[in-house]
Amino acid sequence: MLGIEGSRPAHSAEIRSLTEYEYRLILKGMRIGERGQVTIPKDIREQFGLGPETEVEFRVVGGSIVLKKAPKKLDLAKWKGRCGDAFAKLGYSSVDKFIDDVRGR
């Protein structure tokens, strides 16, 4: 794969695995604004489902900055206490007691 000037990228395996089109897109000239902001091109936002309020992570990989969509966080609080009645009908005072029984403890 060749970069814009025809030289091979000397970055990590992640960067080397990009297609020529992707690499050229990355090298597209952009500037950081006064508040440290950059605009992600629309086609990339659409391809990766990046919309307003989407959480992202930044990592340093082989001397390059990599932006990655953050994994979704599960809101388990909404499920708290929803199974108590069902476990009580089965004769268990808690989910932990049920799990212990299932595991043979």
Q: What is the CATH number of the domain that holds 41?
A: 2.10.260.10
| Cα dihedral: 55, 59, 64, 68 (round 10) | -30
Q: Do 65 and 97 share a domain, yes or no?
A: no
53 found inside a domain: yes
Q: What pLDDT does residue 71 have? A: 87
User: In this predicted model, what pLDDT tens digit does every residue of 35-89 receive, in sequence order?
Assistant: 999 888 888 889 889 999 999 999 998 888 888 999 888 888 888 878 878 888 8
Per-residue pLDDT at 22: 56
Q: Are residues 78 and 63 in the same domain?
A: no
17 and 56 belong to one structural domain: yes
Residue 46 lies in a domain: yes
Mean pLDDT of 2-16: 43
On whether residue 78 sits in a domain, the answer given is yes
In a domain, 25, yes or no: yes
- Same domain? For 64 and 95 the reply is no
Backbone φ, ψ for residue 74 (5° rounding)? -80, 135
Domain check: are 47 and 31 in the same one?
Answer: yes
Give phi and psi for 14, each to the nearest 5. -60, -45
Mean pLDDT of the 3-27 span: 50
Locate 86 and state its tokens.
């069902």
Rounded to two decimals, the pTM is 0.45
